[in-house]
Amino acid sequence: MIELLSTTDSVFGDCNKDGRVDFKDIAALTLYWSLTNCGQCGGADLTGDEQVDNRDVDAVVKYWLTATTIPPLPEQASNPNPTDNALGVTLTPVLSWTAGSGATSHDVYFGTADPPPFICNQTTTTFDPGDLSQATKYYWRIDEVNGWGKTEGTVWNFTTMMSPPPPPPPPP
C-alpha cells in the first residue's frame, strides 16, 4: 500500500491543518471542489484565488507529495491454548495465544456458534471466558489489529470436560 506524505516541514498544501500533506488534504480539496468566492475554502484554496480547482490539486501533488510504504498488516495469531480441537478442557480455562508480528491489539471472538461473536478488543494475549458449561464445544478466534488494519484469524475450537473430577477422598 502507498500513502502520500509531505516531503518537507512546510505546511503549504496542508488543507486540514494537521501538520501533514496527505490524503486527508485531497479530501478537503474534493469537499470544496469548484467553489468560487469561498475565501480560503477551509484551507483548500492553496493558490489564493478564492476557488478550489486543478491548480490547488497540482500544488499539492507536484511539490509536496512522495510515495512512502505503509507498514504491513499484522500477522495472524498462532499457538492457541487450549489447542485447536482439544477435548476435555477444564470448565474454567484461560485462553492464550502468540500475538502475530506487528499486532498492537487483539479482537477476541468467543462462543458456542461458528463463527463466534465479537467479545472485546484488548492488548493482552490471554482471555478469561469465565465459567463454561460441561461437554460443550466452544469456538474462538483472534483477529490481530494494528494502526493499518486487521488480519482475521483462524477459528479454533475446544470441547469442555464431561463433568468436573470428583473431590479427593477424605483422609483416613
H or E segment at 157? strand 156-160
Supply the angle between the helices 54-64 and 23-31 in degrees, to the nearest 10: 170
Residue of 1, 65, 61 lying closest to 29 (CA atoms): 61
pLDDT mean for each 10 residues of the chain (172 residues): 41 58 63 59 61 66 55 93 98 98 97 98 98 98 92 98 83 86
CATH 2.60.40.10, domain 78-160, yes or no: yes
- Where along the chain do its domains lie? 2-69, 78-160
**pLDDT value of position 6:** 40
**pLDDT value of position 98:** 99
Residue that is written with C-alpha cell 487483539 in the block: 106
**pLDDT value of position 61:** 65
Where do the DSSP E strands lie in 7-151? Answer: 65-69, 78-81, 86-89, 95-98, 105-111, 118-122, 126-127, 137-146, 149-151
Residue that is written with C-alpha cell 512522495 in the block: 66
The separation between CA 146 and the C-alpha centre of its own chain, rounded to angstroms, equals: 5
